[in-house]
Amino acid sequence: MWQHKQGAKKEEAVKRRCHRCRGMGRAPCEICKGAGEVAKSRDIYGKPIMTRCNGCFGLKSIRCAVCGGDGFV
């Protein structure tokens, strides 16, 4: 956006919504893909034994790395 002031052109900084977190400031955890838990091992029947994710600590999301949690770039 251009704004005229005393004959000079000045560019005004426009904040846009972050494309990764969609303006929420939090993005899905990349380790557990937003599930909050990961497979630790398997039991004797082959069923996965789940444990809390170490990346997001079970919260399912982390602070967005692109916007730093602000929601805007």
Residues 6+ apart with CB under 8 A from 32: 38, 53, 55, 56, 60
* 25/39 Cα distance (integer angstroms): 27
- 1, pLDDT greater than 90: no
- Each residue of 12-57: pLDDT tens digit? 667 788 888 888 889 889 899 989 999 999 999 999 999 999 999 9
Residue 22 confidence (pLDDT):
86
User: What architecture (CATH level 2) is domain 16-73?
Assistant: Ribbon (2.10)
- The residue that leads in pLDDT, 11 or 34, is 34
pTM: 0.60
Domain coordinates of the chain in residue numbers? 16-73
pLDDT, position 5 = 60
